[in-house]
């Protein structure tokens, strides 16, 4: 069921979102050549718990870790492990935290040292796709208006827009209706009308090459079919009467793209 949040709910989601934001800021500090994705996961889990929150992804449908860390051709849901980041990599870090009954969910793609200019551009444009969609995150528009703006910005750069994974409503559950695709069509229709109190996660997943993806045998990791890099950028937002509130970003210096 699609839930509409009241002011008190939004305040709680803002607190959960703040934990996610601070965790991502910590991740940005720790991302460097030589760090393992498992070390990032441990630091994130410790930080989230230190705030009295719970890492939303841990044990979600059996997911074994607290964050997702998706390197290069990994699109999303990379499981932290012994891989050590190296100069030239990009890594998508996805963080969820539950506090006081509500979830926050956000992702950034970080560059590890110097990366190829075309890869840096992918990371930058993926972030821009989120903000392109955000312009339509207000009453009077529908979900598909957000989707269209994300898709148009990515495709204008010749990138592939992932279709198999999509954004989502969020609140007391990490995944609630409505679906928030990053493209128009595919049976999603125009989507619901946006109304104040809706809270959604908008999360473009954009490929440097083709849009096709594969699921690895681990049951989680999603990779590009052509092996080219992919980037991810996500925030949890609240629809209001006016401008949307970004619950996982306070509007300060954004740590990204590179």
Q: Can you tell me the distance from the alpha carbon of 21 to that of 184, in angstroms, rounded to the nearest whole number?
A: 29
By beta-carbon proximity to ligand MF3, the closer residue of 45 and 234 is: 234
Beta bridge partners of 68: 94
Contact 41, 217 (CB under 8 A): no
- For residue 229, the minimal CB distance to ligand MF3 (Å) is 19
Q: Kindly tell me which residue out of 12, 14, 77, 138 binds ligand MF3, with binding defined by CB under 6 A.
A: 77
Task: Pick from 143, 201, 237, 246 the residue near Co ion by CB under 5 A.
Answer: 201
Instruction: Fill in the per-residue mask, 128 to 167: x = in contact with ligand MF3 (CB under 6 A), - = not in contact.
Output: ----------------------------------------
In the set 31, 68, 115, 200, which binds ligand MF3 (CB under 6 A)? 68
Q: Which region holds residue 28: left if phi is over 0, alpha if psi is between -120 and 50, else beta? A: alpha
| One-character DSSP codes across 11-74 | HHHHHHHHHHHHHHHHHHHH-STT-BHHHHHHHHHHHHHHTT-EETTTTGGG--SSEEEEETTE
Asked if 161 and 183 count as a contact pair (C-beta separation under 8 A), the reply is yes
Of 14, 110, 103, 91, residue with least CA distance to 55 = 103
Q: Which range touches Co ion (CB under 5 A), out of 42-50, 130-138, 201-209, 221-229?
A: 201-209
**Binding-site member from 105, 128, 145, 176 for Co ion (CB under 5 A):** 105
Token digits of residue 129: 């796709």
Q: Give the x/- contact pattern for ligand MF3 in 190-209, rule: CB under 6 A.
A: -----------x--------
Comparison of 89 and 105: residue with beta carbon closer to Co ion: 105
> Which residues would be at the binding site for ligand MF3 (CB under 6 A)?
57, 60-61, 63, 68, 77, 94, 105, 168, 201, 234
> Which residues would be at the binding site for Co ion (CB under 5 A)?
105, 201
């Amino acid at each position: 069921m699609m839930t509409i949040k009241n002011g008190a709910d939004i305040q709680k989601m803002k607190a959960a979102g703040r934990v996610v934001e601070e965790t991502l800021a910590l991740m940005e500090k720790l991302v460097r050549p030589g760090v393992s994705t498992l070390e990032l996961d441990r630091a994130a889990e410790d930080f989230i718990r230190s705030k009295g929150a719970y890492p939303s992804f841990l044990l979600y449908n059996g997911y074994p870790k607290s964050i997702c860390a998706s390197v290069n051709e990994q699109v999303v849901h990379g499981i932290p492990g012994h891989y050590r980041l190296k100069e030239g990599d990009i890594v998508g870090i996805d963080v969820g935290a539950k506090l006081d009954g509500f979830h926050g969910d956000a992702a950034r793609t970080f560059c590890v040292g110097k990366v190829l200019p075309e890869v840096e551009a992918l990371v930058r444009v993926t972030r821009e796709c989120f903000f392109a969609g955000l312009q339509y995150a207000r009453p009077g528009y529908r979900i598909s208006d957000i989707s269209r703006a994300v898709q148009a910005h990515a495709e204008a750069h010749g990138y592939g827009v992932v279709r198999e994974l999509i954004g989502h409503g969020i609140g007391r559950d990490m995944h609630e209706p409505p679906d928030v695709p990053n493209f128009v069509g595919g049976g999603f229709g125009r989507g619901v009308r946006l109304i104040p109190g809706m809270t959604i996660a908008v999360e473009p997943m954009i490929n440097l090459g083709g849009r096709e993806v594969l699921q690895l045998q681990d049951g989680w990791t999603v990779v590009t079919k052509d092996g080219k890099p992919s980037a991810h950028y996500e925030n949890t937002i609240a629809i209001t009467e006016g401008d949307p509130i970004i619950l996982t970003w306070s509007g300060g210096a954004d740590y990204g793209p590179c």
